[in-house]
Amino acid sequence: MEYTLIKLLHIGALIMWLGPPLGAWLMLRQARASCQDETRLFEQYRLFYRLIALEHIALAFLLGSGLWMASEYSLWSAPWLQQKLILVFAVLLPIELLDIILANVLLPHIHQRQYEGETLKPWQRAMQNFYHGPFTNFAVFVIPILTLSIMYLAVGKQALF
């Protein structure tokens, strides 16, 4: 029963980690392309950052429940888990840590200042452009592939190589 509850938490956290940020990104992308009202666009950014914060809370639950299951059931030596952990800690976590710094710390303040009429410094504009351009494009490409690989390892319990 305990395993089932932790697994349910783990899968629920996976859904909350993937769903809200995808919806938030699609919503913001549309708003940036079509919204002419600065106040409304600013509100869309605020909602976007709140949903991204929810994503990062879900990520903490996802990592915590996964590590708990690995410890509780002594799975550390399983080749599929070792490969899964490499993908999580070597690829996924660096992307998410950068996302946390940008989307939870820097960019909300930058957008607030911009909305209040301040002229952004070049580094602030560069952070906006990086996050909403190359970083997001990279994440939208890599994270689905990474997630499918991790899920394959978790479901099949077979190493990739």
**Residue 157: predicted pLDDT:** 93
85 domain-assigned: yes
Tell me how far apart the alpha carbons of residues 143 and 63 are, in angstroms, rounded to a whole number. 15
Q: Does any domain span residue 125?
A: yes
Does residue 41 fall inside a structural domain?
Answer: yes
Residue 90 domain flag: yes
Tokens found for residue 126: 């560069």
pLDDT given at position 1 = 76
Tell whether 161 is covered by a domain: no
Q: What is the DSSP letter of 102?
A: I
Domain presence at residue 107: yes
Q: pTM for the complete prediction?
A: 0.90
pLDDT at 116: 94
In a domain, 70, yes or no: yes
Q: What is the pLDDT of residue 41?
A: 92
Return the pLDDT at 139: 95
- Residue 46 is assigned to a structural domain of this protein: yes
Give CB contacts under 8 A, 24+ apart, made by 40-46.
Answer: 42/111, 42/115, 45/108, 45/111, 46/108, 46/111
Split into its structural domains, the chain has a count of 1
Instruction: Give residue 69's domain range.
Output: 2-156
| Average pLDDT of adjacent 10-residue blocks, the chain of 161 residues | 92 95 93 90 94 97 96 94 97 98 96 94 97 95 96 93 86
pLDDT for residue 17: 96
